[in-house]
Amino acid sequence: MGIGKNKPEGHADGAGVTPADAAPLPNPKPQSQIPALRLAVLASGRGSNLQALLDARRDGLPLEFVLVASDKADAPALRRAEAAGIATLALDPAAYPDRAAFDADLFARVAAHAPDLVVLAGFMRVIDAAALAPWAGRIINIHPSLLPKYRGLRTHERALAAGDAVHGASVHYVSAKLDGGPVIAQAEIPVQAGDTPAMLAERLLVQEHRLLTATVALIAAGRIALVDDGVRLDGARLAAPLRLDADGRLAGA
Distance CA 156, CA 196 (A): 8
Residue 142 neighbours by CB distance under 10 Å? 23
Nearest to 70 by CA among 53, 87, 57: 87
> Bridge partners of 250?
244
Size of the chain, expressed as the number of residues it contains: 253
The string over 24-58, giving b where at least 16 C-beta atoms fall within 10 Å of a residue's C-beta and e elsewhere, is: eeeeeeeeeebeebbbbbbbbbebbbbbbbbebbe
143 as an active site residue: the answer is yes
Sign of CA dihedral 146, 151, 155, 160: negative
**Which one of 11, 143, 172, 209 is the catalytic residue?**
143
Active site residue ranges: 143
